[in-house]
Amino acid sequence: MCGLSGEVRFDGGRPDIAAVERMTDRLAPRGPDGRGLWSQGPVALGHRRLKIIDLSDSGAQPMADPGARIAGVFNGCVYNYRELRDELHALGHRFFSESDTEVVLKAYQQWGTDCVDHFYGMFAFVIVEQDTGRVVLARDRLGIKPLYLSRSAGRLRFASSLPALLAAGDVDTSLDPVALHQYLSWHATVAAPHTVLNGVRKLPPATVRVVEPDGSHHDRCYWQPSYTRRPEHAGLGADDWTDAVLDALRTAVRRRMVADVPVGVLLSGGLDSSLIVALLADEGQHDLATFSVGFESEGDEEGDEFTYSDLVARHFDTRHHQLMVPSDRVAGALDGAVLAMSEPMMSHDVVAFHLLSEQVAKEVKVVQSGQGADEVFAGYHWYPAMAGVPRAHAAEAYIDTYFDRSHADLARVLRPDLLPGRDASAEFVRAHMAADGAETALDADLRLDTHVMMVDDPVKRVDNMTMDWGLEARVPFLDHELVELAAACPPELKLADGGKGVLKAAGRKVLPRQVVDRPKGYFPVPAIKHMAGPVLQRVREALNAPEARARGVFREEYVTELLTAPDAHRTRRGANALWQIALLEIWLQTHGIR
Q: What is the pLDDT of residue 300?
A: 58
- Classify each residue of 523-536 as buried b or exposed e, where b means 16 or more C-beta atoms within 10 Å of its C-beta: bbbbbbbbbbebbb
Look at residue 357 and give its three-state secondary structure: helix
Dump the DSSP string for 497-549.
GGS-HHHHHHHTTTS-HHHHSSPP-----HHHHTT-HHHHHHHHHHHHSHHHH
Question: Which one, of 172, 199, 146, 153, lies nearest residue 8 by Cα?
Answer: 153
> How many angstroms separate the Cα of 568 from the Cα of each of 86, 530, 576, 579?
60, 9, 8, 11
CA gap 483, 227 in Å, rounded: 10
Tell me the torsion sign for CA atoms 515, 518, 522, 526. negative
Mean pLDDT of 412-425: 95
Q: What is the pLDDT of residues 141-196, one digit of tens each?
A: 999 999 999 999 899 999 999 999 999 999 999 999 999 999 999 999 999 999 99
Phi, psi of 108, deg, nearest 5: -65, -40
CA atoms within 13 A on the CB side of 530: 15
Confidence of residue 305 (pLDDT cuts 50, 70, 90): confident
Contacts of 388 (CB under 8 A, 6+ apart): none
Query: Quick check: 113 and 422 in contact, CB under 8 A?
Result: no
| pLDDT score at 182 | 98
523 pLDDT band (50/70/90 cuts)?
A: low
Q: Is the preceding peptide bond at 231 cis, omega within 30 degrees of 0? A: no
Length of the chain: 594
Note the pLDDT of residue 307: 86
Region class of 276: left (phi > 0), else alpha (psi between -120 and 50), else beta: alpha
Say if residue 240 is exposed, middle or buried (CB neighbours under 10 Å; 0-12, 13-18, 19+).
exposed
Question: Does the pLDDT at position 427 exceed 70?
Answer: yes
Q: Which tens digit of pLDDT belongs to each residue from 309-330?
A: 999 999 999 999 998 877 677 7
Confidence band of 475 (pLDDT split at 50, 70, 90): very high
Instruction: Please report the pLDDT score of residue 302 as a whole number.
Output: 63
Please, are residues 257 and 366 in contact by the beta-carbon 8 Å criterion? no
How many CB atoms are closer than 10 A to CB 172?
12
Q: Do 122 and 475 contact (CB within 8 A), yes or no?
A: yes
Give which of 543, 539, 550 is closest to 335, Cα–Cα.
Answer: 539
Across the beta sheet with 43-49, the strand order is 34-40, 43-49, 2-9, 155-159, 148-152, 201-202
- According to the model, what pLDDT value does residue 326 have? 74
Q: How many Å apart are CA 268 and CA 133, to the nearest integer?
A: 47
Model pLDDT, residue 434? 96
- Stated pTM of the model: 0.96
Question: Using one digit for the tens of pLDDT, what is the confidence trace for 525-546?
Answer: 666 766 778 888 999 999 999 9
- Check if the beta carbon of residue 494 is closer than 8 Å to that of residue 377: yes
The most distant pair of C-alpha atoms in the chain lies apart, rounded to whole Å, by: 70
Distance CA 59, CA 101 (A): 7
Give the CA dihedral 47, 53, 55, 61, nearest 10 degrees.
-20
3-state secondary structure of 293: strand
Please write down the HEC assignment for all residues of 452-463: HHCCCCHHHHHH
**Is residue 298 scored above 90 in pLDDT?**
no
Which residues are registered as beta bridge partners of 532?
A: none
- Beta bridge mates, 319: 289
Grouping H, G, I as helix, E, B as strand and the rest as coil, residue 431 is helix
CB 17 within 8 A of CB 40: no
Q: How many CB atoms lie within 10 A of CB 404?
A: 22
299 falls in which pLDDT band (50, 70, 90)? Answer: low
Return d(Cα 37, Cα 172) in angstroms, integer: 25
Does 522 have pLDDT greater than 80?
Answer: no
pLDDT tens digits, residue range 92-147? 999 999 999 999 999 999 999 999 999 999 999 999 999 999 999 999 999 999 99
> Phi first, then psi: what are they for 302, rounded to 5°?
-70, 145
**pLDDT category of residue 297 using cuts at 50, 70 and 90:** low
**Rounded to the nearest 5°, which phi and psi values hold at 521?**
-110, 170
Residue 593 CB contacts under 8 Å (≥ 6 apart), including other chains: 166, 173, 197
What pLDDT is attached to residue 396?
97
Contact 171, 197 (CB under 8 A): yes
- pLDDT score at 306: 86
pLDDT digits (tens, 9 = 90+) for 63-97: 999 999 999 999 999 999 999 999 999 999 999 99
8 A C-beta contact, residue 50 and residue 2: yes
Query: In whole numbers, what is the pLDDT of the chain averaged over residues?
Result: 94
User: Mean per-residue pLDDT for 454-483?
Assistant: 97
Distance of alpha carbon 15 from alpha carbon 490, whole angstroms = 52
Edge-to-edge strands, sheet with 263-266: 319-325, 289-295, 263-266, 366-368, 472-474
For the cut 80, the answer to whether the pLDDT of residue 295 exceeds it is no
Strand ranges, E, within 130-191: 135-139, 148-152, 155-159
The answer to whether 290 and 318 have CB atoms below 8 angstroms apart is yes
563 pLDDT above the threshold of 90: yes
Question: What burial class does residue 239 get, using C-beta atoms within 10 Å of its C-beta: 0-12 exposed, 13-18 middle, 19+ buried?
Answer: exposed
Range 474-480 average pLDDT: 98
User: Is the separation of the CB atoms in 447 and 441 below 8 Å?
Assistant: no
Quick check: 405 pLDDT over 60? yes
In this structure, are residues 440 and 488 in contact, taking their beta carbons and an 8 Å threshold?
no
Give the Cα separation of 308 and 273 in Å (integer): 11
